[in-house]
């Protein structure tokens, strides 16, 4: 994995077609608090590291655009665009973020393997 200069097309292609399916893979959904038709949505996974003293968090960020097509369901009016991925490391006691870095994995599977190295 490397620091991205732009979003990785192969990573984007490896993501589930419907981002909410990331919840089934252990990610938790967080929506930006706004009433705007365009907002950020994060899918985050937090795990303890091997030493038990730190938390590693992976955040996959999308931009959600909500349309207003007449006769369409809410789900049909939602359009998600992948934005980026960040990994952060925090201490447990006290919970304080130590570092946050953008990453550019090639696939979702590669990202999950990377996390598994530090958080079995």
pLDDT digits (tens, 9 = 90+) for 59-109: 999 999 988 888 888 888 888 888 889 999 999 877 788 889 888 888 888
User: What's the alpha-carbon Rg for the chain, to the nearest Å?
Assistant: 16
Degrees (nearest 5) of the Cα angle 33, 98, 58? 55
**Average per-residue pLDDT in the chain?**
84
- Asked whether the predicted pLDDT for residue 115 surpasses 90, the reply is no
pTM: 0.81
Instruction: Tell how strand 54-66 and strand 38-48 pair up.
Output: antiparallel
CA dihedral (77, 41, 49, 8) positive or negative: positive
Instruction: State percent of the chain over pLDDT 90.
Output: 28
Domain boundaries of the chain, sorted by first residue: 9-118
């Amino acid at each position: 994995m490397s620091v991205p200069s732009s979003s990785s097309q192969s990573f984007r292609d490896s993501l589930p077609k419907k981002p909410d399916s990331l919840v089934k893979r252990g990610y938790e959904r967080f929506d930006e608090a706004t009433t705007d038709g365009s907002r950020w949505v994060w899918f985050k996974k937090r795990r303890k590291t091997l030493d038990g003293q730190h938390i590693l968090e992976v955040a996959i960020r999308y931009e959600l655009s909500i349309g207003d097509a007449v006769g369409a369901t809410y789900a049909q009016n939602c359009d998600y665009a992948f934005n980026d991925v960040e990994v952060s490391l925090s201490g447990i006691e006290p919970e304080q973020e130590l570092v946050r870095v953008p990453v550019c994995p090639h696939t979702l599977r590669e990202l999950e393997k990377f996390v598994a190295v530090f958080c079995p």
